[in-house]
Homo-oligomer: A and B are copies of this chain.
Amino acid sequence: MSENKTHKIHFLPHDIYVDIEEGNTVLDAAHSANIYINSICGGDGICGKCKVVLSKGKVDAPPTTLISSEESENDYILACEAKIIEDLQILVPKETRLEGKKILLDQHEQHSLTWAAVLDKSHFTHNPLTKKLFLTMEAPTMDDNIADHERLCQAIMMDQGVELNVIQTDISILKKLPGIMRQGNWSVTVTVAHRGPVLEVVEIETGDTTQNNYGIAIDIGTTTVVTCLMELTSSKVIDSEAVYNSQMKFGEDYIQRIIYAIQNDFLNEMQKTIVSDINKTIHTLVKRHEIDLNNITSVVCAGNTAMIHFLLCLDPENIRKEPYIPTANFVSPFRATQIGIDINPRCILYALPSVSAYVGADITSGAAAIRLDKEELNCLFIDIGTNGEIVLGNKDWMVCCSASAGPAFEGSGVRHGMRAAKGAVEIIHITRDYEVSYSTIGNVKPKGICGSGLLDCIAEMLRCGIVDRSGNFQQDIKSERLRKKGDEYEFVLIEKEKSGIETDIVITQADISNLVRSKGAIYAALSILIESMGLSINDVSLLYLAGGFGNYLNVRNAITIGMLPDMPTSRIKFVGNTSLIGAKMALISKEAFETVHNIASQMTYFDLMGNPKYMEAFMSANFLPHTNLSEFPSVVEELSS
């Protein structure tokens, strides 16, 4: 193997040099130089926010519509798409830098990896669930007179190395077979879909249309629905779109929604609501990228058990009643139109499998995304969404539990909480004199605070003594930011004139209590889970933290407030929305899809509610960082310094 060349990249106006291997992107170089470059999409070449000026050198970059011709003449490039092939000088323009007060990424602030890096690390091979195959066959003769369908099946068999008897074709396809095969002069593109042991021929077209093959990965969260459009030929993420889950009007958490659906005989409407959200996101994406709906051949859905039940219109009633039984954890693939998704009528929908009523496809998908199934040593995987689900295990075993953490870190039940979207404060620093610096997603005026910002906020307020260890405001601090409004104290984070909304952005005493309870539930759950397996936190080699925080998460702050156990931050990885990542992987890799299923089959559900120690552990965790400080030696040291 030839050694990879390295090149020197000079960033201006920072005047920082960094050496980086050929083939990395300019965005990668900026990250390794600790230079913040705006990129909402996480480096997928979608948002167009990472524009930089190439002042010296050449890069290898694909054409993009995100750079105007005027910008192009002025040497603008997208940092995330520009591959390094020689030494460069890069000017990071003002609009691409962090706005407001400048915040340098500290060593604990982890950026979730780019899609390309995550996919590469997963070692899943590219083998989409639905594929387009361009097949060229011999024309029939008197000596080679097998039927059209068998000619096609043999070509598929040769191309895919499958047994002939696993190939199935609906008669609607057979009807057009002779015409298409002859029109195409025996060269056709067939779309095949893996459906359990079957390889189904779902479409046939003349000519080579293999490039027109797209898929949709969806994470159906209780609070948000995130839809991602992918190019199946290349594993490339084209774009994604998120909306709030419109079911919220029927209840903030899914238990409320189940009760609502059952009491009002409203299950069909609940389904229509969620399907309508999905349709909206898909239509936005295909319109924006001028993609024909007929070229979308597969949809993979992850989400918690209740959301998957609502999506499929399956009876969710027994999910909330002891002994908490889902209708189905494993669902066979079916046509997406069967549940009202407005798409190519032959498109297949794959719902990822759940483990139990309270550990859903979001977790199995996430565990596959981080390849927990390949870990030699014990790992913890924590996904903080509307609930907190925790998996402990390695390649040989996995146990999981669900903590009723509530949606505080998703911004719900917090006055100015919001999801990690444009305008959300995602990083907050507070100085000893109570001055607040921050950055927002999209570098626009702040509209609210997302999970990572809330987490920073609590940690910083604890460090500065704005709150005490029980989470109460220290009313005697010398700052006008702390004020009493009505009966309640609140701390002004961003003044009205700097905010993108009509008011000051504050954090209230009730917000803090909510957040403390939420982090306490998570910590209590992971402690009990570890203890139940006869292990201690020292036996955990890696902790993966997932969830809809911002693009960054300060893992040190998560320890400081006692959400995560006191372990070296180098052993904690912030992994973003793993539910969606797993769905994206399953879409483009049958191996990943099967891994999710294997994980779902092997994972053991551990019921916290049935554990008498849980409530005690929860009460002890309702402090900052914890009642028992011996569990957080580094925090004791930090706070006393």
- Say yes or no: B140 contacts A312, CB within 8 Å: no
The reply to whether the CB of A329 lies closer than 8 angstroms to some CB of chain B is yes
A325 surroundings in chain B (CB, below 8 A): 140, 145-148, 178
Complex: A327 Cα to B173 Cα, angstroms: 11
- Say yes or no: A312 contacts B196, CB within 8 Å: no
Which chain B residue has the least Cβ–Cβ distance from A152?
B328
Tell me the residues in window 302-334 of chain A with beta carbons closer than 8 Å to chain B beta carbons. Answer: 312-315, 317-318, 322-332, 334
Query: CB within 8 A of A149: which of B142, B145, B329?
Result: B329
Question: Nearest chain B CB to A168's CB is how many angstroms away?
Answer: 4
Complex: A168 Cα to B328 Cα, angstroms: 12
- Say yes or no: B339 contacts A171, CB within 8 Å: yes
Number of contacting residues on A, CB 8 A? 51
The reply to whether the CB of A532 lies closer than 8 angstroms to some CB of chain B is no
Which chain B residue has the least Cβ–Cβ distance from A317?
B178
The reply to whether the CB of A198 lies closer than 8 angstroms to some CB of chain B is yes
Which chain B residue has the least Cβ–Cβ distance from A312?
B171
Complex: A146 Cα to B313 Cα, angstroms: 19
Interface centre among A198, A324, A328, A356 (most CB of B within 10 A): A328
Asked, given contacts A169-B332, A198-B198, whether A178 binds B146 with beta carbons under 8 Å apart, the answer is no
Question: Nearest chain B CB to A418's CB is how many angstroms away?
Answer: 34
Number of copies of this protein chain within its complex: 2
A607 surroundings in chain B (CB, below 8 A): 142
- Say yes or no: B328 contacts A150, CB within 8 Å: yes
Asked, given contacts A197-B166, A198-B197, A332-B170, whether A179 binds B315 with beta carbons under 8 Å apart, the answer is yes
- Say yes or no: B178 contacts A140, CB within 8 Å: no
Complex: A274 Cα to B149 Cα, angstroms: 23
A331 surroundings in chain B (CB, below 8 A): 149, 169, 171, 174
The reply to whether the CB of A113 lies closer than 8 angstroms to some CB of chain B is no
- Say yes or no: B314 contacts A165, CB within 8 Å: no
Tell me the residues in window 93-145 of chain A with beta carbons closer than 8 Å to chain B beta carbons. Answer: 140-142, 145
Tell me the residues in window 156-212 of chain A with beta carbons closer than 8 Å to chain B beta carbons. Answer: 165-166, 168-171, 174-175, 177-179, 195-198
- Say yes or no: B145 contacts A356, CB within 8 Å: yes
Apart from A153-B330, A175-B327, what are 11 other A-B pairs with CB-CB below 8 Å? Answer: A141-B323, A142-B322, A147-B325, A148-B318, A148-B327, A148-B328, A149-B331, A174-B328, A175-B313, A177-B315, A177-B327
